[in-house]
Amino acid sequence: MRPTLRIGVAALLLLLAAGCATRAPARADVRDPWERMNRATYAFNDKLDRAVVRPVARGYRRITPHAVQLGVSNFLSNVSYPTVMLNDLLQGRFTPFVRDTSRLLVNTVIGIGGLFDPATAMGLERGDRDFGQTLGKWGVKPGPYLMLPFLGPSDVRDTFGRAGDVFSDPRTYIRNPWWGYGLWTLGFIDTRAHLLDAEGVLQGAYDPYAFIRNAYLQNREFKVRGGSSKSEEDEEQKMLEESGIEPTPPAPPKDEPAPPK
C-alpha cells in the first residue's frame, strides 16, 4: 500500500472513530425491552397498511356517502357496547353502567338498531371501557410494550384484555361466518378510515414508532387512572399536546376558500 493511501485510510478510520466516540448512545426505553422485535413488527404492519389496508380504507371513504359511514360507525359501536357495560360492572361503576345501559336501549330502539345516535343528544355520552382498563383497575401492571401483528400497539396487560373484549363482543357468537367475519372486517375498515385524518400527525414525528408508542402508553395510563369517560377527540388532543406536535387541520371544502393564515 502506498504511503499516501495509508495516510488516507488512517485519516478516514480516525474520523469514523471520532464520530462514534462523540455520538451519544441511544437510551433504551425501560417500557419497551422488546424494541427490536417491536420495530420489526411495526415495519411489517406499516408495509401491509401501505399496500392493502390504507388503500381499502381510502376507497371506502371515497365511494361511501358520509351519512352511510356515520350510520355504520354508530351501528358497530352499538353492537360492541355490551363490552363497555360489562366492564362498568367489573370496575364497580354502577352509575356509568345505568347510563350505558340506557344508551344502548335508546340507540337500539329509537336509533333503529344503532344506525342513529339519539342517546348522545339526550345527554347519554358514550363510555369507553375495556378489559385492559379493568385489569389496570384491579392493580395489574401494564408490563412491557408490545406491537402486535395486524392489531398494532399494545402491552402485555392489554393483550390479555383484548381476549376478554372479543369474548364479550356479541359478534363473536354469530354462527353465520359470512355475517360474523363480515362485521369484524367492516369494523376494521371503519376504524382505519377514521385514522386517515390523523396521518398528518405522524408526518411531523422524527420517529413514528416512538411517537405511536408514547402516545399509546400515555393514553392507556390516562384511561386506567379514571379518564375513560372523556371523548375520543379530547383524548387525542391531550396526547398531541403532550407530544408537542400540532395536528394537521382538515382541508376546507372545495366550494369554500381556505381560512387566511
Indicate the domain borders of the chain: 50-140+152-203
DSSP reduced 3-state for 152: strand
> What is the mean predicted confidence (pLDDT) over 79-84?
96
Which segments within 6-165 are labelled E, that is strand?
A: 145-148, 152-155
Q: 107 near 99, Cβ under 8 Å?
A: no
pLDDT, residue 241, reads 53
32-56 pLDDT per residue, tens: 999 999 999 999 999 999 999 999 9
DSSP reduced 3-state for 34: coil
Structure-block grid coordinates of residue 7:
495516510
> What is the mean predicted confidence (pLDDT) over 173-182?
93
pLDDT tier at 120 (50, 70, 90 boundaries)? Answer: very high
45-54, 60-69, 79-88, 221-230, range with the lowest pLDDT: 221-230
Q: What is the pTM of this model?
A: 0.73
Is residue 207 pLDDT above 50, yes or no?
A: yes
pLDDT, residue 250, reads 42
pLDDT, residue 14, reads 36
Polymer length of the chain: 261
**Gap between the Cα atoms of 173 and 42, Å rounded:** 31
pLDDT, residue 105, reads 97
Query: 3 to each of 6, 7, 13, 14, 40, how far by Cα in Å?
Result: 5, 6, 15, 16, 45
